[in-house]
Amino acid sequence: MRTETLLVKTIIAALGRNLWVAAVAAGLGTVALGTAETAVADDDAATYLLRYDLNEGDVLPYEVTHVAKTKTSVRGKSQTSQVHTTSRRHWKVVRRNEDGTMVFDHVIDSVSMTQQNGDAEELRWDSESGEEAPPAFQLVASRIGQTLATVTVNERGEEISRENHGGTEASLGMGSLTLTMPEQPIAVGESWSVPREFKARTKDGLVKTIKIREKYTLDKVQTGVATLKVTSQPLTPIREESVRAQVVQQLSNGSLRFDVDNGRMIQKQLDWDENVVGFQGPTSAMEYRARMTENLLDSPTHTAARP
């Protein structure tokens, strides 16, 4: 595994996946979120129509923290790699079209990160320190203060178009850029699934498409906050452990919390705790532990100058 490439993709993917959800009341039997009804216990009979609601000029700043530890053992030799990244980024809504579609830019404002491979010296860099980034972090440094992508989505969160400006589309299981909402109003306890594909490489160097299903469940709606649970699983049979080692890092499991009154995500947490045996021979093993959190900031976004 090329650590520099993985690190760059991890950082940009962790920053580049954002989710805004507004629950809008519509239709007979649908509860209006953001009213006094959400301040009481959930009503089993209530349903909620989940829709994006972003308006021109909205700027949502977030802090993203990603911590990952990978331990591999191959032919009796073990190595541990660790990455810790804290970053700030924001989404700025460029416009809202008459058909309800929304266009927004994604910008990285600052990054602080560390990386260590085995016994090698730990690398550290903070974009706000004024110091030049180490070679391993140069690609990330070049993205600071730049718009990574301009994205258009509809009210359900389906991506209509995307113009990349130097970002990466790699998700690394951290959640897609937007979340596709269910077509119909949904009640607490009900679920919907979103399909996704991942390209894995076999031992023979071939590219294998792995179909993944991400299952979302509306866990509760209380005091203006909706909580979603997410789990994901591969649908394509996996017979090679080397492929499995790539896929486990793509599976999202965790929870998301939304301020439904104001139509924005306030928190996301995804966790990984995976073990794969035999990914490079019968005696090889891999342990992967990681956590990614994302929190809405109250203070205005400040974009650092690019080094």
Amino acid present at 255: S
Task: Give the angle subtended at the CA of 96 by the CAs of 93 and 102, to the nearest 5°.
Answer: 65
pLDDT tens-digit series, residues 76-119 = 889 999 999 999 989 899 999 999 999 999 899 999 999 999 88
* 235 contacts: CB under 8 Å, gap ≥ 6: 211, 212, 213
CA distances in angstroms from 300 to 140, 206, 222, listed in the order given: 23, 47, 27
- Evaluate whether 150 touches 161 at the Cβ level (below 8 Å): no
Confidence class for position 44, pLDDT limits 50, 70, 90: low
The tokens for 237 are 């049979």
Closest CA to 80 of 283, 287, 247, 273: 287
- Evaluate whether 233 touches 213 at the Cβ level (below 8 Å): yes
DSSP labels, 173-230: TS--SS-PPPSS-EETT-EEEEEEEEEEE-TTS-EEEEEEEEEEEEEEEETTEEEEEE
CA separation for the pair 21, 222 (Å, rounded): 15
Phi then psi for 12, rounded to 5 degrees? Answer: -70, -35
pLDDT tens-digit series, residues 249-306 = 888 799 998 777 777 778 999 999 999 999 888 889 999 999 999 999 975 444 444 4
CA separation for the pair 276, 244 (Å, rounded): 7
- The whole-number average pLDDT for the span 32-44 is 39
Q: What's the pTM?
A: 0.77
The tokens for 204 are 């023979």
Residue 11 pLDDT: 42
- Evaluate whether 106 touches 117 at the Cβ level (below 8 Å): no
- The whole-number average pLDDT for the span 240-252 is 88
Q: Where are the domains of the chain?
A: 56-296
Closest CA to 214 of 230, 191, 235: 230
CATH classification of 56-296, choosing from 2.30.230, 3.40.50, 1.20.90, 3.30.230? 2.30.230
Q: Is pLDDT above 60 for 307?
A: no
- The whole-number average pLDDT for the span 230-249 is 91
